[in-house]
Every structure is written in C-alpha cells, then in structure tokens.
Amino acid sequence: MVLRSLWTIIDHPEDLMPLVRLKMAVARIEKEIPAEPHWAFCYGMLTKVSRSFALVIQQLCTELRNAVCIFYLVLRALDTVEDDTSVPSDIKVPILQLFHQHIYDKNWHFSCGTKDYKVLMDKFDLVSTAFLELDRSYQEVIEDITRRMGAGMAKFICKEVETVEDYDEYCHYVAGLVGLGLSKLFHASGLEDLASDSLSNSMGLFLQKTNIIRDYLEDINEIPKSRMFWPRQIWSKYANKLEDLKFEENSINAVQCLNDMVTNALMHGEDCLQYMSNLRSPAIFRFCAIPQIMAIGTLALCYNNIEVFRGVVKMRRGLTAQISEQTSDMPDVYCAFYEFSSMLKDKVEENDPNAALALKYVETIQQACIKSGTLNKRCFQAKVLKICCKILFSLSYKMLAPCVCFKAEVSRFDSLKTKVICTIAYPIVLLMLWCK
C-alpha cells in the first residue's frame, strides 16, 4: 500500500504538493467543526459518509453550508434505506414515501445500513434537530425534494431499469432532483439567479451516470442481492445477462457496452458547462465545478477500459487533489473538460459500434470550450508547469539514485551538471508548486 503510493508519487511528482496541501486543508476544516452537539454530529458525519462532497460543502458560506450539509445528510439517510438490500420491500417502500415527514420528527428513527451509515440512521434525531433550526425557505426545499426522491425511489424498488427512458427517470429521482434542490437553495440564499430545471437536472445526471458506470462490479456483486442500474435496452445489445459482462470470455462485448454507457453520459456535458457558466458566487462555483470535473475525468478513465469489470477504476487521489485546488473559475473548467475529453477521444476506436456518437459528443464539448476563447492561455500554462515539474523531478532522481545505491557508481555518474541543475531547480519547483 505504502509502496504503491510511493510509486504513484514517483510517477506523478506533480501530485505531491497538492496532496500535502489538501491534507492540511482537511485538518484545518476539521478544527472548525461547530460546538453544539447536533451540528458537531452533522459535520462529523458528513466527512465520514461523503468522500467526494464533504470538502466542497464545507467551503460554502456558513448559512448555505448548513443548509447543504443537512440536505446531503437527509438524502444520504434516504439513500441508505434505498440501498439496504436486506430490508424487505414492503417495509422499505412506506419509509421512502414518508421520509419527508420523518425529518420533522425528532423521535423518529429507523435502523438500517452498516458502519457509518448505521450511525447516521441510529442518531438521525440529531440531523432532525439541525434541520429544524434552518430557515423555513431552506426547509421547504429540502422537504419537497425528499418527498419527490422518496416517491421515485419507491417506484423503482419494484421495477427494473429497462429502457434508456427509465434510466433517465431513475437518475432524475436520485440525482437530478438534488440538482434542482441545490439550485433552489442557491437562489434562496440570494447569491444566485434561479437556474432552469433542465440544466440543474443535467448536473445531477452527469454525476449519477458516471457513478453507475464506475460502480458496475460493486453493484453486481452486492450481497445479498445484486443491484442493477445499467438499462436493459443498452446491455441487451451486448449480453444475455448483465452479469455476463464481468466474465473474461465476454471482454470485447463488455467494453463495447461500457463505451455505449459512457457515450450516453457524455450527452449531458454541454448542459453542465452551460449551468456552471451562469454561476456568480465563487464558492458556489467551486462547489459545483469540482465534482463535474471529477466526473468527466472518471468517464475518460473508464472509456474502453476493461478494468471497470475487474475492480475499482478511480482517479488518482493526487489528481483529485490537483483538481480541487486548481479549480476557481470557468476557464479552469473549460481547460479540464477539454483535456479530459481529448483523453477520451484518443481512446475511441474506429470499429466501436458507438464511435461516431462518442466523437460527436466529444466534439460538442470541445467546441463549447473553444468558443469561450479562454482555452489557450490557461491550458498552456498548466501543461508547461506539469512538464517542467516532471523533468526536474526525474533529474533529481538521477542525481539521488546512484548515491543511495552504490557509492562506487557515483564517480562514474555524470553528476556535476545534473547536481547543479537540481540544486538550483528543486527549490524553485517546490516554490512554484507551493505558490500555485
């Protein structure tokens, strides 16, 4: 584990400082957890149950941060009920449908889920207590979205995701509605105009579809019952049963099916760019943009990648740390979307049944980035910095390696020039990375 992390750093030295700074930011934020016990519980829980959203939520301004934190925890609790495959459907359905009422009741609780999710469910009264302290305008949004999501989840408990239409409908309930709710919370805070439902929905669909694609193996291997979100209309073109895709003999079809799914998700990229370009508040912008960049990065990584059917495919932690500190305005987003869609484009093979459509969506995304007119300068700077960093680190390894390995080799090693360059360059690079 440690050795693997070390190897990753040697391979990607540009990850090092962002990782260190991210660790420091997390430590700083953890120190700022509020004193009252129910709020302390909520923020403590947030960091435990959400790897991807905790940090971005905590960077919002105080009032909005509290509302979004509770919005997250309420929906995460609802999702814990949905996801617990050991709760029978006849018990689960009414809980999902009435969840929006339970959040007003400090004495209500339903035990399910495991580990941290179980703690969230068992101490849900503390989430309710915090919810009841929110401004009424925030409470109304959270209640409305919880009601609609609960009803939608209940509908899909007894129904499979058959068509692409079902797939969009399911993703609307579990993630599109989060987008709608967030847009309403942003508006209620007075910091943003109200975004259209359609663009807000796309923000959620892009994230949820990416999750569903990436989590194929985890969901199919779920105990006691596997969970399937890939629509039959898509996978039936490539296999008789969805689980057949994980077997080695079906690799070619599996990858084609995966590419079909990624292509379907890419469709929402353009709307997401549009939504983000309408935002005004820098904190809200970062909150929205970081997860979207992670999503297109994950799609690029998953495309044409058989590993999705063998284990977990995730972006390097260092890369996510870099994204999280280098995303502050729309040019950063255009640059990242352009880069990741180029990476995906390079992986498209001519003979793939959906190659043309995938290229069409990539083109649409890239055109939107080019049209912004901000691409060249920012992207170029970032690339130069990365290349410089790589060269200088590799030079310094050349200098250090012989010293560590064989003393005798040091004399033979053409070291003077390298040593001089490294001694001067190393601190400069560190300084540049630190200040960036």
Q: How far apart are CB 270 and ligand D61 at their closest, in Å?
A: 16
Which of the choices ligand D61, Mg ion, none does residue 173 contact, using the CB cut-off of 5 to 8 A by kind? none
Q: How far apart are CB 294 and ligand D61 at their closest, in Å?
A: 11
- Residue 360 burial (CB count, 10 A): 13
Q: How far apart are CB 84 and Mg ion at their closest, in Å?
A: 10
- The C-alpha torsion from 76 through 146 and 61 to 193, rounded to 10°, is 140
Vertex 207: Cα angle to 205 and 213 (nearest 5): 95
Q: Give the interface size with Mg ion as a residue count (CB under 5 A).
A: 3
From CA 155, how far away is CA 169, in angstroms rounded? 11
Residue (199 or 422) nearer to ligand D61, CB: 199
Q: Find tokens 């200098």 and name the residue.
A: 399
Q: Of 21, 65, 147, 227, which residue is the catalytic one?
A: 227
Could you list the residues that contact ligand D61 (CB under 6 A)?
53, 68, 71-72, 75-76, 79, 83, 174-175, 178-179, 182, 203-204, 207-208, 211, 287-288, 291
User: What's the half-sphere exposure (Cβ side, CA atoms, 13 Å) at 237?
Assistant: 15
21 an active-site residue? no
Q: How far apart are CB 425 and Mg ion at their closest, in Å?
A: 49
Amino acid at the residue 90: D
Residue (79 or 244) nearer to Mg ion, CB: 79
Residue (203 or 368) nearer to ligand D61, CB: 203
Binding mask 74-103 for Mg ion (x = CB under 5 A): -----x--xx--------------------
C-alpha R_g of the chain? 24
Amino acid at the residue 287: F
Q: How far apart are CB 306 and ligand D61 at their closest, in Å?
A: 22
- Residue 305 burial (CB count, 10 A): 16
Which of the choices ligand D61, Mg ion, none does residue 178 contact, using the CB cut-off of 5 to 8 A by kind? ligand D61
317 an active-site residue? no
- Output the CA–CA distances (angstroms, integers) from residue 123 to 82, 108, 379, in the order listed: 18, 10, 47
Which of the choices ligand D61, Mg ion, none does residue 141 contact, using the CB cut-off of 5 to 8 A by kind? none
Q: Of 214, 229, 238, 303, which residue is the catalytic one?
A: 214
Q: Find tokens 């960077």 and name the residue.
A: 59
From CA 160, how far away is CA 230, in angstroms rounded? 10
- Enumerate residues 24-83 that contact Mg ion by CB under 5 A: 79, 82-83
Q: Of 287, 303, 309, 337, which residue is the catalytic one?
A: 287
Q: Find tokens 């199919």 and name the residue.
A: 220
287 an active-site residue? yes
Could you please report the per-residue DSSP string of 188-211? HTTSSPPPPHHHHHHHHHHHHHHH
- Output the CA–CA distances (angstroms, integers) from residue 191 to 72, 183, 195, 346, in the order listed: 20, 10, 12, 40
Asked if 320 and 276 count as a contact pair (C-beta separation under 8 A), the reply is no
Which of the choices Mg ion, ligand D61, none does residue 72 contact, using the CB cut-off of 5 to 8 A by kind? ligand D61
Q: Of 71, 124, 138, 170, which residue is the catalytic one?
A: 170
Amino acid at the residue 206: F
Q: How far apart are CB 37 and ligand D61 at their closest, in Å?
A: 23
Residue (116 or 243) nearer to ligand D61, CB: 116
Which residues does the annotation mark as catalytic? 170, 214, 227, 287
Binding site for Mg ion (CB under 5 A): 79, 82-83
